[in-house]
Amino acid sequence: MIQKIKKLFLVLFLCALVTGCAPLAPGKVPFNDPRVTVVGSFLRSDIKVTGLNTRINSGNFMEVQVTGINKATGYRNTNATSGHGNTSTATSANTANTSTGYRNLEYKIDWIDRDGFVIKTILSRWTLFPAYASSTFSFAGVAPKTSASDFRITIRKKEK
Amino acid sequence: MFFSRPVSIRKQGKGILLVGVALVYGVFLSGCTATTQNINMYNDNGGAVMALDYRDFQQAASEAVESMLRSGALNKQGGGRYVLAVSRIMNDTMQRIDTDQLVKKIRVELLQSGKVVVTTAVGANGPEDQMAMQARELRKSDEFNQKTVAKKGQMIAPDLSLSGKIIQRNVRISSSKQQVEYYFQMTLTDINSGLAFWEGESVIGKRGSNKSVSW
């Protein structure tokens, strides 16, 4: 009986060890933040957002950065490219593009104040950002007012 | 009578021909006329133009504001808002540009940020709004209740000055193609020390036909 329990513990321990060390399986993205939306099924199949970083800067303005992953080719470790830090605490937004070619993408950040109202600002505009094949890319934004406490980010393919 | 019939038939035929030609021209011309449309300013998918358009000014202004808000240059020691005077924004392009297309956007955003208030009583080319000074001349008038006239020493002098330049550079690529580069350069100067607290540049490049006019 004791031997059986020992074996069970050993198996459980090994399982925990293996799953803990295993690299993130392709397509498994541990991120589901409703504040970021990728528009279009074509894009969604390639590009996945994996994380958000926010902070309040010295002027009390909220800043946001987005991190992402290419679902088709699996996880691309930002540590390998940046050479420091954990991906979840990376200081820049990194998103992998799985397409074989260069992509023109756009993002728009809508800032929302403490009362839930969208702030009208020229900072909320479709902004182009490049996505090179099999490369990471990043973007960030700053709130137009110190009263901004939330945001909604939309990513889409650049319309012609 | 015998000879008159063929002449009238010929006249009729000419008339029909003329009407036909007019109709064809009419259809042709109406088919070529572009219909007027309002631009969707929130999602403008219209093609780029070689000259500067509102999208370029919007991009340059938002990049400048974003950079200023990030930099911390607008954080006044001890809190409160900086008073900003708009200095000279030079138009060094081949186009006739009202630089307010750029500056107004920046001013509005900075004002709304709560970090800056703009003075219209001081400017590089005189006050933007002369009424602040003119209204003070009412001090001499017995017709006005002097309690309602602006008092002496009430105006606030600017802390910061916004200056800049828009530069255009044309590069010939081939006999049929050209490249036009626009540089929006802005500087925020601390008037007290004369030091530039913030500087920024946005570059917008366009490539197109030589026939497109960029001036």
pLDDT in tens, B190-210: 999 999 999 999 999 999 998
* CB pairs < 8 Å spanning A and B: 49
Mean pLDDT of chain B: 89
Q: Do A144 and B75 touch (CB under 8 A)?
A: no
Partner residue opposite B69 with nearest CB, options A59, A122, A126? A59
pLDDT in tens, A83-142: 333 333 333 444 444 445 567 789 999 999 999 999 999 999 999 887 777 677 789 999
What's the sign of the alpha-carbon dihedral A140, A146, A150, A151?
A: negative
Q: How far is B34 from chain A (nearest CA, A)?
A: 20
A140-142 and A148-157 strand pairing? unpaired
Q: How far is B101 from chain A (nearest CA, A)?
A: 13
Q: Which residue has the higher pLDDT, A82 or B190?
A: B190
Over residues A35-61, the mean pLDDT reads 85
Over residues B14-36, the mean pLDDT reads 70
Q: Do A159 and B43 touch (CB under 8 A)?
A: yes
Whether A105 contacts A158, CB under 8 Å: yes
Residues of B in contact with A143 (CB under 8 A): 69
A57 interfaces chain B, CB cutoff of 8 Å: yes
Give the residue extent of every domain in chain A.
26-157
Which amino acid is it at B39? I
Q: What is the pLDDT of residue A57?
A: 95
Q: How far is A91 from chain B (nearest CA, A)?
A: 15
Question: Which domains does chain B carry?
Answer: 54-119+156-209 (3.40.50.10610)
Fold of A26-157: Immunoglobulin-like (2.60.40)
Percentage of chain B beyond pLDDT 70 is 87
- pLDDT band at B100, cuts 50/70/90? very high
Q: What is the pLDDT of residue B93?
A: 95
A74 interfaces chain B, CB cutoff of 8 Å: no
Question: In terms of CA atoms, which chain B residue is nearest residue A158?
Answer: B45
Burial A62-93 (b: 16+ CB within 10 A, else e): bbbbbbbbbbeebbbebeeeeeeeebeebebb
pLDDT of B175 strictly over 60? yes
Q: Do B45 and A160 touch (CB under 8 A)?
A: yes
pLDDT in tens, B132-146: 999 999 998 999 999
Q: What are phi and psi of A42, to 5 degrees?
A: -60, -45
- pLDDT band at A22, cuts 50/70/90? very low
For chain B positions 25-84, those within 8 Å of chain A (CB to CB) are 43, 45, 58-59, 61-62, 65-66, 69-70, 72, 74-75
Mean pLDDT of chain A: 72
Tokens of B109: 């955003």
Interface test with A, best of B41, B69, B206 (most A CBs within 10 A): B69
Q: What is the pLDDT of residue B29?
A: 58
**E-strand spans in chain A?**
36-38, 47-56, 62-70, 95-96, 103-113, 127-131, 136-137, 140-142, 148-157
Question: In terms of CA atoms, which chain B residue is nearest residue A64?
Answer: B70
Percentage of chain A beyond pLDDT 70 is 57
Tokens of B95: 């186009």
Q: Do B70 and A145 touch (CB under 8 A)?
A: no
Q: What are phi and psi of B97, to 5 degrees?
A: -120, 135
DSSP state of B16: H
Q: What is the pLDDT of residue B147?
A: 95
In terms of DSSP H, where are the helices of B80-178? 100-113, 131-134
Q: Which residue has the higher pLDDT, A42 or A53?
A: A53
Over residues B21-48, the mean pLDDT reads 76
Over residues B32-52, the mean pLDDT reads 86
What is the distance between the alpha carbons of residues A74 and A46, in angstroms, rounded to a whole number? 10
What is the distance between the alpha carbons of residues A139 and A95, in angstroms, rounded to a whole number? 9
Interface test with B, best of A57, A60, A61, A114 (most B CBs within 10 A): A61
Three-class SS state of B82: strand
- pLDDT band at A40, cuts 50/70/90? confident
pLDDT in tens, A61-78: 999 999 776 554 534 444
pLDDT in tens, B157-167: 999 999 999 99
Q: What is the pLDDT of residue A9?
A: 62
Q: How far is A127 from chain B (nearest CA, A)?
A: 8
What is the distance between the alpha carbons of residues B188 and B84, in angstroms, rounded to a whole number? 9
Q: Which of B166, B153, B61, B40 is nearest to B107 (CA)?
A: B61
User: Hunting for tokens 């209204």 — which residue is that?
Assistant: B135
Q: What is the pLDDT of residue A90?
A: 34
Q: Do B58 and A121 touch (CB under 8 A)?
A: no
Q: Do A159 and B66 touch (CB under 8 A)?
A: no
DSSP state of A124: S
pLDDT in tens, A52-64: 899 999 999 999 9
